[in-house]
Homo-oligomer: A and B are copies of this chain.
Amino acid sequence: MNNFDLYNPTRIIFGQGRIAELNRLVPEKARVLVLFGGGSARKTGTLDEVKLALGSREIHEFGGIEANPSYDTLMKAVELVRREKLDFLLAVGGGSVIDGTKFVAAAVGYAGDPWQILLDHGASVTQALPFGTVLTLPATGSEMNNGGVVTRPELQAKLAFRSAFVFPQFSVLDPSKTFTLPVSQVANGVVDAFVHTIEQYLTYPVGAMVQDRYAESLLQILIELGPKVLADPQDYGLRANLMWAATQALNGLIGAGVPQDWATHMVGHELTALHGLDHAQTLAVVLPSMLKVRRESKRAKLLQYAARVWHITDGSDDARIDAAIDRTRAFFESLGVKTRLSDYAVERGAIDKIIAQLSEHGMTALGEHRDVTLAVSREVLELSI
C-alpha cells in the first residue's frame, strides 16, 4: 500500500425527506444563492422544497448551469454573489451544478482572474465561500469531494481543479429526488460511477486489500444495480444504493494509497469539449479501448478484475482479460450507452484535432505510469472508432 493522506469533512445527510433539514444545516443568518441547472429542479418541485426549508433567509436564485458547466455562466453567478454580498451557496442538482458551485465558491473572493483557478488546477485557491449541496443525480461523487470540472467552450477547454477549500459543508442525498430523472441520465450516472472506480482500481497491484475489495464491491453493485434501476425507476432501495455507490466511487476513500489512472477521463474531456458527447458517453467509448491498448501494464489488475468482478475463471490469461473488457463494453451498451465514436458521428478524421487539444492542455503523459503519450492516446482513439 502506498502512503496516503485522507481527509473528508463533508457531512452526509442521507435519506428520504431530509431536505427539510436545510433549516438547521444552513446558517440562520445566511444570505443564500441557490444554484441549479436547466430547470428540472423547478419542475419537479425540489427547488420549492429547498426554498421552503430555508424559511425566512434571504434567497437569490441562479438557474441555467449547463451540463459541463461553462466558465462564462459561472462567472455570472460570481458577479451576482459579489453584487448582492451573498455568503452561502447551495447547489441543487447533479455533478455539473455542484462542480460549478465549487468554482463559484472559490472564484468569488479570488484575487486575480478566476480562469487561473483552472489553469493551475486549484493550486492558487486559498479560500472559498461555504456551500452545501442537495444532490438530485447520482454520478460524479462531487457531493463528497473537493474537485470540479469547468468548460470554456470558446477555448474548447474542459479543465479540472481541486482544492481543500471546496469540500461541501454538507450534502443532502435524498434518493427519492432521482425518481424523475430521464433514463439516459441514470444510465450515464451508472457508467460514470463505474469508470470512476475503474480509474482508481485498474492500474497495478500495490497490495491494498481494503481499497481493492471496496472498489470490487462498488463495481459488482453497479453491475447488479444498473439494469434494475433502469427497469424500475420508482424503487427507492435501488435508487438509494445507486446514490451511495456513486458517492463512494469518488470521495477519496477507494483511491487512497493506490495508483490512479484517469487517462480515460482526460481523453474523454476533449471529446466533450470538441464534440459535445456527454461525459459518461466519452468514458464508455474510451475505457474499453484504453484497457485493450494498455493491457500489458495493467495485466495483473485486469486478471484480478476478470476474476473478482466478472467471476471469469476459464481460459488463458489473455482470454480472461479479453472477456473482462468485452463484458465491460457490453455492460455499458446494455444500459443504452454507446461505446464507439462512430455511434456519435465522430469519424477518424476528427482524431488529429483531439490529439492537438490533448497536447494543448498538457495531457502528454497520462495514466498511472505517465506512459500514455499522445501516440498512445491516438491508438486508443483509433481503436474507439
Contact = CB atoms under 8 A, between A and B. Distances in A.
Interface of A: 1-18, 207-210, 213-214, 216-218, 220-221, 224-225, 237, 240-241, 244-245, 248, 253, 256-257
Shortest 5 CB-CB contacts between residues of A and residues of B: A3-B15, A213-B217, A6-B12, A7-B11, A9-B9
Given A210-B241, A257-B14, A8 B8 contact: yes
A220 B214 CA distance: 12
A207 B237 contact: yes
A282 to B, nearest CB: 26
B207 A241 contact: yes
Contacts of A1: 14-15, 237, 240-241, 244
Nearest to A235: B207
A213 B220 contact: yes
Contacts of A225: 209
Quickly give the copy total for this chain: 2
A208 B15 contact: no
Counting chain B CB atoms within 10 Å of each CB, the highest count among A2, A245, A257 belongs to: A257
B213 A221 contact: yes
A305 to B, nearest CB: 15
13 contacts: A1-B14, A1-B237, A4-B12, A5-B12, A6-B11, A6-B14, A8-B9, A12-B256, A14-B256, A15-B257, A209-B241, A209-B245, A210-B218
Contact of A217 (B18, B214, B245, B256): B214
Contacts of A237: 1, 207
A13 B256 CA distance: 11
A127 to B, nearest CB: 19
A195 B156 CA distance: 53
Given A209-B225, A221-B209, A241-B207, A14 B3 contact: yes
A285 B16 CA distance: 39
Contacts of A13: 5
Contact of A210 (B10, B16, B248): B248
Contact of A245 (B7, B15, B16, B210): B210
B4 A16 contact: no
A374 to B, nearest CB: 34
Nearest to A211: B244
A248 B208 CA distance: 13
A12 B210 CA distance: 15
A12 to B, nearest CB: 4
Contact of A4 (B2, B8, B14): B14
A84 to B, nearest CB: 30
A244 B3 contact: no
Contacts of A214: 214, 217
A221 to B, nearest CB: 5
Nearest to A17: B3
A324 to B, nearest CB: 19
